[in-house]
Amino acid sequence: MLLSFSVLNNEIVACRRCPRLVEHCRHIAEVKRRAWRDWDYWGKPVPAFGDPNAELLIVGLAPGAHGANRTGRMFTGDRSGEFLFRALYETGFASQPESRSRDDGLKLINAYITAAVRCAPPDNKPSPEEFRTCRGFLQRELEMLMRVRVVVALGRLAFDAYLSARGGNEKFEFAHNREHLLPEGRPLLISSYHPSQQNTSTGRLTLAMLTEVFRRARREIESN
């Protein structure tokens, strides 16, 4: 099992199927942000990470240009990650409340984090074709994560991407902290606003609101 995840992650990092995204990641890694000009940017597709036996799966949209595209780990090194990992720590899914770099000692506990698209997109907007190209990676992860009982989709685009990856004809209305019951044998799906800087700085999503999403996931996991 661990070998399978390692093989998949190596394939993700080596992927060059979306020229626009490859060029954007490379360009950002060269230009950098002034605050990070001494940082050796990752500048490649970002693999998922976490516990391969996880009961909680978290699906985001795509790496941030100066977050995961810089550090090489999902939700690491930007404001979105600050919010997310604080909420995961408060609910027992992360070993520490901060995520700054790949070697900062952070461990996910019974959780796995992935994304609909693995490269940082321009303006944080992958194209429909880029979503489709990346879908196979998420589908393979869904097949390998056999113990997942709860899926938290961060944002409408990640929500739609997860439903597309798993197949089926379900039509669900996206809303924050809403449960969606999938057919028998499928995990419980919870939709959440994305912890983007736009959402958190305007108060559309607060830390308390995001923490409650993961409290709900915790209750479901511990219910049986």
Determine the pLDDT at residue 1. Answer: 63
Rounded to two decimals, the pTM is 0.96
Phi, psi of 177 (to 5 degrees): 55, 40
Spatial CA neighbour of 137 closest among 18, 27, 23: 18
Sheet of 150-154, strands arranged across:
49-50, 111-115, 56-60, 150-154, 188-192, 178-180
pLDDT at position 3, please? 66
> Is the model more confident about 135 or about 169?
135
Calculate the alpha carbon distances from 64 to 48, 123, 194, 198 in Å.
14, 10, 12, 13
Q: What is the pLDDT of residues 31-84, one digit of tens each?
A: 999 998 999 999 999 999 999 999 999 999 999 999 999 999 999 999 999 999
Q: Residues 6 or more apart from 131 whose CB is under 8 A from it?
A: 116, 117, 157, 161, 164
